[in-house]
Amino acid sequence: MTTVILLRHAHSIANEKGILAGRASGVNLSAKGTEQASLLSSRLGNAKFRDIRISPLERCLATLEPWLRSQASSVRKKIVFDPNVSEVDYGDWTGKKLLALSLRKEWRIVQKSPSQMVFPRGEGLLQVQQRAEKALHQSIKKAGSGVSLIVSHGDVIKSLIATALDLELDKFQKIVIDPASISVLDFNKGTFRLLHLNDSTTNFEYLSQTKRSNKTLVGGGSGSK
């Protein structure tokens, strides 16, 4: 069984300004995001990851930096900057105010039929899901029976959770992924389970220190860690 931690980058200056940052360079963490990143360091603790996969955009590495500084230098060598978990290429929408974008007719497609949305001079959300799923399975293969960490972006993580839960991409807007939140998947024999969703409080060090049953439990889990 492989456990996958999906971490969204912390609050950014684009989040603060209500801007769709996309793949624009120079988008750093806000003061709130810097605080969130510091808290994430203690939430990850001494978790042991066999694979660490990070979006190439600055805000993702900045989110993980406080934790990396608390670990042995060898941990940094595990990092793979994977373009398949990079932010959506929003094309001409990049850098625009979300409030202004919400007034466009295409906004309804994004919200109601995202599988049909291809951003002007950018990529389609279905394409995003496909590349992200490829990275997810590569990370699972590398982690084996251990734990992997993927640091990415809201829409990318939402698409991965939709994949794991066998949801159509058109349902992915029902999933909420906040900055600096952690979602956790278990993968066993071709099947995913969702352990945590949009979690902003749990200490996740336990995931690499305890073994969990891979069986479906009647009545749900026991609540034990």
pLDDT at 215: 58
The number of folded domains in the chain is 1
Average pLDDT over residues 72-86: 95
Q: Is residue 224 one of the residues assigned to a domain?
A: no
Residue range of the domain that includes 104:
2-208
Q: Is residue 128 one of the residues assigned to a domain?
A: yes
CA separation for the pair 15, 30 (Å, rounded): 8
- Write down the residue that tokens 């949305």 correspond to: 117
Name residue 19's beta-bridge partners: 97
CA separation for the pair 121, 144 (Å, rounded): 38
Q: Is residue 225 one of the residues assigned to a domain?
A: no
Does residue 135 sit in helix, strand or coil? helix
**Which domain CATH number covers 142?**
3.40.50.1240
Which run of H or of E encompasses 99? Answer: helix 98-101
Q: Is residue 217 one of the residues assigned to a domain?
A: no
CA separation for the pair 143, 164 (Å, rounded): 17
User: Is the torsion defined by CA of 166, 170, 175, 179 positive or negative?
Assistant: positive
Q: In the structure encoding, which two tokens stand for residue 31, read together?
A: 């003061």
pLDDT per residue as tens digits for the range 62-73: 999 999 999 999
Q: Is residue 215 one of the residues assigned to a domain?
A: no
Query: Which of the four pLDDT bands, split at 50, 70 and 90, describes residue 207?
Result: confident
Write the Ramachandran bin of 180: left for phi over 0, alpha for psi from -120 to 50, otherwise beta.
left
Q: Is residue 12 one of the residues assigned to a domain?
A: yes
pLDDT per residue as tens digits for the range 130-181: 999 999 999 999 999 999 999 999 999 999 999 999 999 999 999 999 999 9
